[in-house]
Structure 1
Amino acid sequence: MKRVTSYEIWLKEEAIPIIEGYGIEDVTALPRKPWKRTGGAGAYIELRGMEGFTGMYVGEIPARGALNPENHLYEELIYILKGIGATEIWSAGDNGRRMHFEWQQGSLFAIPLNTRHRLINGSNEPALFLAVTSAPLMIDLLHNIPFVMGSDYKFRDRFDGETDYFVPTNNRKEVGGFITWETNFIADARGALVDPSEAKGLGVMITSFDMGGSTLVGHIAEWPVGRYHKAHYHQGGAILLILRSEGYTLMWPPEAGIRPYRSGHADRVVKVNWREGSVFSPPSGWFHQHFNTGNEPARQLAFRYSGESGNYILGCWRALNKEGVRASIRDGGTLIEYEDEDPQIEKDFAAGLKNNGVAIEMPPVSYRDL
């Protein structure tokens, strides 16, 4: 019998829908129900690859309304799916001093750990947002919801009332082979600058971001029309949200091998179709590979653990370095080079592009013996 965790018990007590699967085609279309705790509406999302490492939900703010103030001992990143508005931030006992910042569709920001906050809708239509949290880790560790949601401790190292805290920065540096952007607010992730990262694939661009001094961070990735990423694997818990274009992602377990079709394990390959608003999460150790079949560059927003500040957990630092997603499995990494992948993968991609009237832009490949 499956053990039920403290986090799973809490989700059911919240009395809103819980949506499961490998992926969701459109998070804005999920059924949402009134949510007593927040004062809005929402739905939780529990994807196969989240594995109790990350939590996720879609929240709705009523037209010209606001959510209830809250604070919590878990980290939270918020992406605005629809609408315009503002967020108020303050710490309990700070003489009522509050600060606020405005957001729009495409905005991305972190809620500083355990600060009081509320989201305010500035439009005549409901506003929607996607939130990714570390709630499963904290709730399963402490088993005490009143403490997680009711502590008044102030993490001054995270947030101390700085008036420029949510002013976008251009603080970019190279960390572990990636460009990392330290900023607590991105005005529009759909158009934010991304940097070359061709170790992940031809024309791939990736910029990591650190927000709020959190261990819960992420990156923005983009790649051209007619191309796809190299397959790789890593720890579970990562969540991918599509910001632009259409395509699909293949995922398969390690026992299916590097070339699952050739080895007779085609039935183990999971295909998740995606478009703007889709989310999915590869399980731990599963190879996964992203394919752009649309007529514009694909862009995705990834939420995951780790951070430049040194807050590395779950082996994520190893996964970002020599033995990780940028190094070939031939060199002890977790990435499949184009020359080593299953030939059926590019054949299927070319067929999908043809159906959409898009030309393939992949370089010629000479497949190697494994």
Structure 2
Amino acid sequence: MAPIPVLVHPPSLHEEGETRIIPFDINDCLDIETACTSPNLMASFVRVRVGESIETKANATSQAFYVIRGTGFTSSEHGTVSWGDGDLFVVPVTEGALKHTCKEAEKGGAALYWIHDEPLMDYLGVKPSGKKFEPTFFSREKMLAEVQEISHQQTEGERNRLGVLLGNKACEQTKTLTHVLWSLLNSIPAKTVQRPHRHNSVALDLAVAASPNVYTLMGKEIDANGDIIDPIRCDWTPGGVFITPPGWWHSHHNESDEVAWVLPMQDAGLYTHQRTLDIRFVDDELELHKAGKIRGSAFAVTNKQYLHMVECGATVPHARVAGMKRVWSMQEVEEEDPSSSGDAAAPKKKTVKKVASYSRLPAMKASSVEP
């Protein structure tokens, strides 16, 4: 079974060009027949030029839209919602399309981050029969006000994380965005580190705001000090999305002088309902080990392909750090158009290439087993 790679969907894809949907489709990396970013979820950018509209449609129980840039409105069978920078809204099963219209935006067009669970429906071979929650809107002002309130609360010890968990009234037990989707608007203060943690859900992380030298380290194992062994470093680029594989330890680092913000989207609503999320924080695990205890786990990394990550160089905004692996990203490149018949003066054709950050293991030869 193909592992889930560390890949990046860069913001350059939605910062220019025509009105269009820009899918973060890596189904070929995962050996899955239908479009997906993870086995259960599909993530895309939606670019809408000022004064234009575009329709989106998915066979999904849950759809979430976060406004990266711009103001406008979305109309559907559920009604019309107006949105602006930093707003987020979710809709349940929708028979028809959602129509998104941009009123104003920098860079010539609005950008939405769109996530839904159609890949899960495709895998099960089903179509949702009824809605599990009502359309819900989270304004930027409300979310930031909640974070500000938390920042003034008295807590023990040093705080290195300020965030608001986005919950839905229909999900009282899981306390998640929908019964499938989970999200947290998370801030990391300047000059701080969020120590490693891990969970079984795949994270599709949107870097909302970050200065240079803000990044995430990811790896399969931790050492006796709780540091990630042989980590992959993924730098945050505002408006870009990166994948955090399931079960991997990951820590967030802000070496800049400004607060950084990230919006992870996960299928953790489903995992929480199944009691299989198994989220762990490194310092808790170290304390257990010191006490001679080892927790039971609902997950173990057994796929050998995870253990054979290759050294690779990617286009990232900051200098390489010695001893850390880099990720490949989604790259827009110019290639000769086959229809140009070798004419050097002909305009180049722009294409987007994606390359996984792992190499496939050679096929194992069959061997006989002595009785």
For the aligned pair, the TM-score class normalised by the smaller chain equals: 0.5 to 0.7
Structure 2 length normalisation: TM-score? Answer: 0.60
In the alignment, the residues of structure 2 paired with residue 238 and residue 129 of structure 1 have an alpha-carbon distance, to the nearest angstrom, of 18
- Summarize the Cα distance change of 1:287–1:310 in structure 2 as closer, same or farther, 3 Å threshold: closer
Percent identity between matched residues is 16
- 1:289 Cα deviation from its structure 2 partner: 0.5
1:129 lines up with 2:123 in the alignment:
no
| Count of residues paired in the alignment | 269
8 Å CA contact 1:78–1:110 kept in 2: the answer is yes
Return the alpha-carbon distance in structure 1 between the equivalents of residues 5 and 225 of structure 2: 24
Native 8 Å contact 2:218 2:250 kept in 1 = yes
Which among 191, 202, 208 is matched to residue 237 of structure 1?
202
Structure 2 residues not aligned, in runs of 5+: 31-36, 169-176, 289-293, 297-317, 322-371
| Aligned with 1:113 (options 71, 87, 93) | 93
Structure 1 residue 330 corresponds to structure 2 residue 283: no
Q: Secondary structure at the match of 2:256?
A: coil
Shift of 1:45: 4.5
State the distance in 1 between where 2:271 and 2:243 align: 24
Is 1:207 aligned with 2:174?
no
Q: What is the aligned counterpart of 2:234 among 272, 279, 293? A: 272
- Partner of 2:287, secondary structure, is helix
Alignment of 1:166-185 (within 5 A): 166=136, 184-185=137-138
User: Take 1:251 and 1:54, find their aligned partners in 2: how far apart are those partners?
Assistant: 21
1:7-46 equivalences in 2 (<5 Å): 22-24=6-8, 26-29=10-13, 40-46=20-26
Q: Kindly indicate whether residue 215 of structure 2 is the aligned counterpart of residue 248 of structure 1.
A: yes
- CA distance in structure 2 between the aligned counterparts of 1:205 and 1:213, rounded to whole angstroms: 22
* Cα distance between partner residues in 1 of 2:113 and 2:201: 19
- In the other structure, the counterpart of 1:9 is none
The equivalent of 2:146 in structure 1 is: 193
Residue 312 of structure 1: SS of its match in structure 2?
helix
Query: How many angstroms does 1:70 deviate by?
Result: 3.4
Matches within 5 A, 1:1-370: 22-24=6-8, 26-29=10-13, 40-46=20-26, 51-68=38-55, 70=57, 72-90=59-77, 99-116=79-96, 117-123=98-104, 125-142=108-125, 148=127, 153-155=129-131, 157-159=132-134, 166=136, 184-187=137-140, 191-194=144-147, 195=150, 202-211=159-168, 213-246=178-211, 247-254=214-221, 257=223, 268-307=230-269, 312-313=273-274, 315-316=276-277, 318-319=278-279, 327-331=284-288
CA distance in 1, matches of 2:201, 2:157: 18
Distance in 2 separating the partners of 1:28 and 1:123:
19
Measured in 1, the distance between the counterparts of 2:178 and 2:257 equals 37
Letter in 1 for 2:167: D
Change (3 A) 1:200 1:329: farther
What one-letter code is carried by the residue in structure 1 that aligns with 2:144? G
Secondary structure at the counterpart of residue 202 of structure 1: coil
Structure 2 Cα separation of the partners of residues 220 and 60 of structure 1:
22
- CA apart distance, 1:251: 0.7
Q: In angstroms, what is the RMSD of aligned CA positions?
A: 4.0
From the superposition, tell whether residues 324 and 63 of structure 1 become closer, same or farther in structure 2 (CA, over 3 Å).
same
**Once the 2 structures are TM-superposed, how far is the Cα of residue 57 of structure 1 from its aligned partner?**
0.9
Q: Which secondary structure does the structure 1 equivalent of 2:120 belong to?
A: helix
TM-score by length of 1: 0.60
Going from structure 1 to structure 2, the CA distance change for 1:285 and 1:70 (only over 3 Å counts) comes to: closer
* CA 1:70–1:239: 2 relative to 1, 3 Å: closer
SS in structure 2 opposite 1:295?
coil
- 1:186-222 CA distance string (max 9 Å, x none): 2358835223697997331122112464320211111
Q: Please give the alpha-carbon distance, in whole angstroms, between the structure 2 residues aligned to 1:204 and 1:69.
A: 34
Residue 314 of structure 1 and its aligned partner are, at CA, apart by: 6.6
Contact 1:81–1:105 (8 Å) recurs in 2: yes
Distance 1:208 1:137 in 2: 23
CA distance in 2, matches of 1:56, 1:273: 19
Partners of 1:140 and 1:269 in 2: CA distance: 32
Amino acid paired to 1:283: P
Counterpart contact for 1:63–1:127, Cα < 8 Å = yes
CA drift at 1:296:
0.9
Matches of 2:86 and 2:123, distance apart in 1:
31
Query: For structure 1, which runs of at least 5 residues remain unmatched after alignment?
Result: 5-19, 91-97, 160-164, 167-183, 335-351, 356-370
What is the aligned partner in structure 2 of residue 362 from structure 1?
none
Deviation at 1:60, TM superposition (A): 1.6
Deviation track 1:245-274 (CA, whole Å, cap 9, x = no partner) reads 2311111113x645698xxx96x3201111
Please give the alpha-carbon distance, in whole angstroms, between the structure 2 residues aligned to 1:25 and 1:223: 21
